[in-house]
Structure 1
Amino acid sequence: YQATPESALTVSLLAAASLLIILTLQRWLGLLSLNATIARSVGINVSLAQLVLIVSSAALTALSTLLIGPLSFVGLLAPHLARMLGARLPKQQLAAAALIGASVMMTAD
């Protein structure tokens, strides 16, 4: 309700940058979700991948909470709903979570 065009543009740019970051990490996400042994067998440095993913998710969560505030719970809820609805691959989960999150926000508004 207090959004200005400048803040909306800033949040949109940060969301686009976040999307690019997550898309570059989708291979790690997909392989690590299977098993660390499988990820290691295809040449992924598991400890480095886990560290990068944890730091990235913590930074993106902190950024969204700072920008959006209490409504960021939707960003935490939507991926879980997407997985419960059958989205298993990272690309599918990302797309489904975005649609679910947008739908929840529009419904709440």
Structure 2
Amino acid sequence: MTDPAILDRLAATIEARKSADPATSYVARLLHEGEDKILRKVVEEATEILLASKDGDKRHIARETADLWFHCLVLLAHHGLGPNDVLNELLCREGTSGIDEKALRKMG
């Protein structure tokens, strides 16, 4: 069973944790430690997905992808963005060839 609203709820939780005590909140600690720490976590989780994919364990791939998405949401929050900003970008690209979309980004 899936719940598409989970991203919005998770983003709201992350937003609420911005003002939490870094000693008691993982999100607050990441945000307090700054962008470099958050970026290191994103890279770490992306690497773990690659390794899980090489192993072929679907459950492990899903868990690592969840970790990556979570840390990407923290990064978005750091920049004052949320999942809807990403979804809107995807909507703008819908129906456009990936090749064409990439070329358009280079042009402007």
Task: Give the shorter-chain TM-score range.
Answer: 0.3 to 0.5
| TM-score normalized with structure 2 length | 0.38
Which structure has greater helix proportion? 1
